[in-house]
Amino acid sequence: MIQWPPRLQLAQLPTPITRLDKYSEQFEETVIWVKRDELTGTEVSGNKIRKLEFSLAEAKEQGCNTLITCGGVQSNHCRATAILGVRLGMKVHLILRGEKPEQAEGNLLLDYLAGAEITYLPQRQWQSHQDLAAELQQDYSSKGDKAFFIPTGASDEIGLWGYIAACEELKADFERLEMVPDYILTATGSGGTQGGLIVGSELFDIDSKIAAVNVCDDAKYFEDKVNEDVTLWKQRYKQSFDSENMSIHTIEGYVGPGYGAAGPEVFKTIRELASSEGIFLDPVYTGKAFHGMVNELHKGENGQLAGARNILFIHTGGLFGVFPQQENFEF
Ligand SMILES: Cc1ncc(COP(=O)(O)O)c(C=O)c1O
């Protein structure tokens, strides 16, 4: 019996699963299914909201009235936090990596519209972002506020619950569909979705392998990050989970030019899925991961998804990240 921590009900759940009949025709043996977590909401959408249900419940539990979090200028997580803060009557302060752009586009536009306070921290000073967050917490405290800090992507021992809980939903999905995929695959950027799926699939006895395509860093980074989050989760919530034998399968080779920048193959994949199935990926996370998945499937027995007859892709959202990169699509 799982002892769940406090949780707010913020996401539209359960999300549907779509079978990609047309797109999957290119494979002889594989059918791709998509868990539509981009539909957890409209403005507050994607994977972050599942994690924030737990992070924000904890903030409330601690009596905080302000949220501080951080990420890239086009962070989906920061946008979700900015909007949820308004809905919950909390102030939001974002620390964004980079310089203030001339124009606010995509996620950043929504951050401003939602009234978030924004501090830009140049890339070269980014290592100090947690110190800056601690300073801001003190400033808020001196004004009589109480600020809760959420790390990048809400990927920590609290946010881990988001995709542990998603596995309970997946278990019911698979029973209803009478299909258990050979693989469940996600993009990984700060490790929390990947880690939550690894732990949750064990706890809910889901017989699928968990694989993740990294959109930044490398497999070693995600092995360490998942181990760290799971260790802290075990300590904080007194869980007796066997983390020694976790299989942390990160598929490398698809970062492309770098975090946030994609090659033409990713934009091509986005267009192909949109025009065949009416499902939209983004160039930063889901487009790269989906492209990586398809490329590995085409390698057949020599690929990292060998033997996949059914594969479930977790669509983690990110649509607003398409618009600042629209010049990369030919039309
Ligand atoms: C749209 C989208 N997909 C995937 C991810 C990766 O998830 P995680 O940060 O849990 O690794 C993120 C955030 O980083 C995201 O915004």
Q: What is the three-state SS of 251-286?
A: ECCCCCCECCECCHHHHHHHHHHHHHHCCCCCCCCH
**Around 220, how many Cα atoms within 13 Å sit in the side-chain half-sphere?**
0
State which of 73, 77, 226, 285 you would mutate to test the pocket of ligand 1, scoring each by most atoms of that ligand within 8 A of its C-beta.
285
DSSP 34: E
Average pLDDT along the chain: 97
Is there a contact between 202 and 241 (Cβ–Cβ < 8 Å)?
Answer: yes
Give the end-to-end CA distance of the chain in Å, rounded to a whole number: 53
CATH topology of domain 17-43+160-328: Rossmann fold (3.40.50)
pLDDT at 1: 82
Task: Report pLDDT digits (tens) over 91-107.
Answer: 999 999 999 999 999 99
Active site residue 75: yes
3-class state of residue 149 by DSSP: strand
Identify the architecture of domain 48-154 in CATH: 3-Layer(aba) Sandwich (3.40)
Residue ranges, CATH 3.40.50.1100, the chain: 17-43+160-328, 48-154
Ligand 1 first shell, C-beta below 6 A? 46-47, 76-77, 153, 155, 187-194, 282, 285-286, 316-318
Predicted confidence (pLDDT) at residue 331 exceeds the cutoff of 90: no
Query: In this prediction, what percent of the chain has a pLDDT beyond 70?
Result: 100
**Which atom from ligand 1 is nearest to the alpha carbon of 191?**
11
Task: Report pLDDT digits (tens) over 171-197.
Answer: 999 999 999 999 999 999 999 999 999
Is there a contact between 290 and 254 (Cβ–Cβ < 8 Å)?
Answer: no
pTM of the full predicted structure? Answer: 0.98
- The closest residue, in CA terms, to atom 16 on ligand 1 is 76
* Separation of alpha carbons 158 and 179, rounded Å: 30
